[in-house]
């Protein structure tokens, strides 16, 4: 339906009449108070003020302009139907490793690299988390906030799909990724834009070999701030392969520092998971759905479209026509 957000602004419609009724007319000033070098080019009808008749087209034009301006100031709106928006009150940040080792293709029978598998599985997880605010951190040699916490899950999923390996460097800065999450959540808490339910899901395939903050120290700070961290280590299982010198064992996840990931999760009240292929990674995210379930809750919202631009634009057009009229008549 149509309504005005500030209907009391219509009381201002009386201001021109009140000024005319109770204020004395302006007196002629014998000396200049404003230097205007272009005044010689202004038509006499526009430069001088006079008490014109209410029937004058100029007066009517000014009244119409004033009415349109006050209408715009009253904020006309089109308010839609009430919509129930599910809301859990939880902030969930995904920290995804995009270092060089994520290009190894060992989790999907060689058909896709690690990052491609993570994109698909984590993208499905994002779309399931209806009601959560979700953010995305990408980290390699550096960590940066790709998407701040938002209810716009489609944008977060799209930003994840657009991620490429090495965009943040080829190494792994786990501590900096945790620090970035703490900084973002802390800023929102300071401005009272977040709740106490903040969760970080950190996924990596290596050991922390870059960055400015050690993972254990970052985890201790996270525990103090109430940020719960779940860690996921990805990489294929060790297997036997035939070589020129006979059978040998190949472990594609040999660089994975599981001890550090367990420590980080344990210090913050979270849990460590190990993903060796697409199926186990999907199962891990389903477990996260159970460990951090969507809480029952909702809020009623009514989509609102601001319409002030229409009377404001029309007032601008009328004022332009008035100026043209004065120039021709003056």
Identify the pLDDT of residue 50: 45
Identify the pLDDT of residue 268: 95
Answer whether residue 33 shows pLDDT above 70.
no
Worst-scoring range by mean pLDDT, 42-46, 56-60, 94-98? Answer: 42-46
Helix (H, G, I), strand (E, B) or coil at 330: coil
Question: Residue 169: exposed, middle, or buried by beta-carbon count in 10 A (0-12, 13-18, 19+)?
Answer: middle
CB neighbours (10 Å) of residue 218? 27
Q: Structure tokens of 87?
A: 């809301």
**For residues 189-201, average pLDDT:** 71
Label residue 49 by pLDDT band (50, 70, 90).
Answer: very low
Identify the pLDDT of residue 47: 45
Identify the pLDDT of residue 46: 46
Identify the pLDDT of residue 88: 57
**For residues 213-239, average pLDDT:** 91
Answer whether residue 54 shows pLDDT above 80.
no
Give the pTM. 0.64
Identify the pLDDT of residue 86: 59
pLDDT digits (tens, 9 = 90+) for 263-319: 999 999 999 999 999 999 999 999 999 998 865 556 677 788 899 999 999 989 988
pLDDT digits (tens, 9 = 90+) for 162-181: 999 999 999 999 999 999 99
Answer whether residue 60 shows pLDDT above 60.
yes
Q: What is the mean pLDDT of the chain?
A: 83
Evaluated on CA atoms 132, 138, 142, 147, the torsion sign reads negative
Domains of the chain listed by start with CATH number: 2-80+302-329 (no CATH), 87-297 (3.40.50.410)
Contact 122, 285 (CB under 8 A): yes
Contact 1, 79 (CB under 8 A): yes
Label residue 23 by pLDDT band (50, 70, 90).
Answer: confident
Answer whether residue 254 shows pLDDT above 50.
yes
Identify the pLDDT of residue 144: 92
CA distances from 100 to 103, 131, 169, 171, 302 (A): 6, 33, 7, 7, 46
pLDDT digits (tens, 9 = 90+) for 68-110: 999 999 999 988 887 766 555 678 999 999 999 999 888 887 7
Identify the pLDDT of residue 245: 58
Catalogue the long-range contacts made by 111-115 (C-beta closer than 8 Å, 24 or more residues apart).
Answer: 113/165, 114/205, 114/234, 114/235, 115/163, 115/165
Q: Which residue has the higher pLDDT, 325 or 219?
A: 219
Q: Which residue has the higher pLDDT, 149 or 62?
A: 149
Q: How far apart are CA 56 and CA 13, in angstroms?
A: 19
Largest CA distance in the chain: 109
Q: How far apart are CA 184 and CA 188, in angstroms?
A: 6
């Amino acid at each position: 339906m149509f309504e005005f957000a500030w209907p009391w602004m219509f009381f201002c419609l009386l201001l021109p009449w009140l000024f005319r009724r109770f204020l004395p007319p302006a007196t002629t000033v014998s000396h200049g108070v404003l230097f205007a070098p272009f005044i010689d080019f202004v038509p006499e009808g526009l430069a001088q003020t006079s008490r014109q008749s209410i029937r004058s087209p100029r007066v009517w034009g000014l009244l119409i302009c004033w009415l349109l301006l006050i209408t715009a100031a009253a904020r006309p709106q089109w308010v839609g139907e009430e919509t129930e928006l599910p809301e859990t009150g939880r902030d969930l940040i995904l920290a995804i490793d995009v270092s060089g080792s994520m290009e190894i293709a060992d989790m999907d029978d060689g058909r896709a690299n690690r990052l491609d598998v993570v994109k698909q599985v984590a993208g499905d997880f994002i779309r399931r988390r209806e009601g959560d605010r979700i953010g995305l951190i990408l980290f390699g040699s550096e960590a940066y906030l790709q998407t701040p916490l938002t209810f716009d899950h489609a944008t977060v999923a799209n930003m994840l799909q657009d991620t490429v390996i090495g965009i943040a460097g080829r190494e792994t800065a786990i501590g900096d990724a945790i620090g970035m999450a703490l900084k973002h959540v802390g800023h929102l808490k300071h401005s009272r834009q977040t709740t106490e339910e903040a969760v970080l899901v950190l996924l990596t395939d290596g050991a922390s070999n870059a960055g400015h903050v050690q993972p254990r120290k970052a985890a201790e700070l996270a525990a103090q701030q109430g940020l719960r961290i779940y860690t996921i280590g990805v990489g294929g299982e060790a297997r036997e392969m035939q070589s020129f010198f006979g059978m040998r064992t190949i472990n594609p996840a040999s660089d994975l520092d599981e001890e550090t990931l367990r420590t980080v999760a344990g210090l913050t009240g979270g849990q460590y998971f190990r993903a060796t292929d697409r199926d186990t990674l999907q199962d891990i995210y389903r477990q996260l759905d159970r460990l951090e379930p969507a809480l029952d809750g909702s809020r009623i919202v009514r989509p609102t479209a601001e319409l002030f631009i229409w009377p404001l634009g029309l007032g601008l057009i009328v004022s332009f026509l008035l100026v043209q009229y004065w120039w021709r008549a003056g």
